[in-house]
Amino acid sequence: MKRKKIVAGNWKMNTTKEEAEKLAASIVQSSQAFQGVEKIVFPPFPFLQAVKTIVNNTANFFVGAQNCNHHDKGAYTGEVSAAMLKSVGCDYVLIGHSERRQYFTEDNIQLLSKTEQALTNNLNVIFCFGEQLNERKNNQHFETVKKQLHGVLNFFPKNKTEQLVLAYEPVWAIGTGETATPAQAQEMHAFIRKTVAEIFSQEITEQISILYGGSCNAQNAPELFSCPDVDGGLIGGASLNADEFCKIIGSFG
Ligand code: 13P
């Protein structure tokens, strides 16, 4: 089986309901030519169901949530469970995004419980990780990424790796306009694939899509996506513009 090509849009805390619906409808419309690419959008929680209704009958098009709580249910005011996400039609959830790690102090213990909740509720996980700028400058980026991968994947059930997608997002590239060069991305993605082979197996690592995220746009996507170990992108800012996002979807050679 060939690895899936995926382009995912993380809308973060942006859009109103009307804007979210419009954006989803435009993406559905303009991405029809790219059947071979799996498309996923991650709207804010309140718009998941509305967006799901819009993309519902579109082939290879899925909706995901940007986060889920690490408990199954109960007295956790303001929180959203994996079961709730599944019940409104989500197929994916982002786990470990650097903004969650940084602003909401999510650690490996929480990320593991979130992963468990996601898998129990039949959600696919996009597990995000990546080094800080000072770590890259000090040449510690491989070590950091290896630690982040082991911290969660060591406990990820080997028989559920079909539900796993990885997203390498160097923190210094997120929202900064500074993208990893294709050479930097390929070097890290090859390292990730090797690390995942050590954790699971060579056969499994060959099946897992590894996305790049961090100031990815229509200009730099073609070169990034042509790297042998880059299987697509997790797009932030550029996913809020349907034309730009669809150009990124069409960037595979
Ligand atoms: P930008 O594309 O805005 O840099 O964000 C990347 C990201 O964080 C996607 O999850």
User: Hey, which bits of the chain come out as E strands?
Assistant: 5-10, 37-42, 61-65, 92-95, 124-129, 164-168, 210-212, 232-235
- Cα distance between the two ends of the chain: 19
Is pLDDT above 70 for 1?
no
Q: Is the pLDDT of residue 190 over 70?
A: yes
pLDDT of the residue at 2: 83
Condensed to tens digits (0 to 9), the pLDDT of residues 110-156 reads 999 999 999 999 999 999 999 999 999 999 999 999 999 999 999 99
**Is 214 a pocket residue for ligand 1 (Cβ < 6 Å)?**
yes
| Catalytic residue (one of 97, 99, 106, 189) | 97
Tell me how far the alpha carbon of residue 173 lies from the centroid of ligand 1, in angstroms: 8
8 pairs with which residues across the strands? 40, 234
Query: Would the CB of 235 count as within 6 Å of ligand 1?
Result: yes
Whole-prediction pTM:
0.98
What atom of ligand 1 comes closest to residue 215's alpha carbon? 4
**Mean confidence (pLDDT) of the chain:** 97
Angle among Cα 85, 89, 93 to the nearest 5 degrees reads 45
Are 47 and 76 within 8 A, CB to CB? no
* C-alpha of residue 176 to centroid of ligand 1, in Å: 9
**155 φ, ψ (degrees, to nearest 5):** -110, 5
Domains of the chain: 6-249 (3.20.20.70)
How large a percentage of the chain has pLDDT more than 70? 100
- Apex 101 CA angle, 194 and 38, nearest 5: 55
What's the CA gap between 9 and 97, in Å, rounded? 13
Ligand 1 atom at minimum distance from 216 CA: 2
Beta bridge pairs of residue 210: 166
Spatial contact of 242 and 27, defined as CB atoms under 8 Å apart: yes
> Average pLDDT for residues 236-247, to the nearest whole number?
98
Which residue minimizes the CA distance to atom 9 of ligand 1?
A: 236
pLDDT exceeds 80 at position 49: yes
Summarised one tens digit per residue, pLDDT across range 72-109 is 999 999 999 999 999 999 999 999 999 999 999 999 99
- Triad 63, 229, 163: Cα angle to 5°: 35
Does 40 sit in the ligand 1 pocket, CB within 6 Å?
no
198 is known as an active-site residue:
no
Q: How far is the CA of 249 from the centre of ligand 1 (A)?
A: 15
Ligand 1 proximity of 9 Cβ (cutoff 6 Å)? no
- Tens digits of residue pLDDT in 156-181: 999 999 999 999 999 999 999 989 99
229 lines ligand 1 (CB under 6 A): no
Q: Is 248 in the pocket of ligand 1 (CB under 6 A)?
A: no
Q: Which two tokens stand for residue 232?
A: 């697509």
The whole-angstrom distance between residue 104's C-alpha and the CA centroid of its chain comes to 18
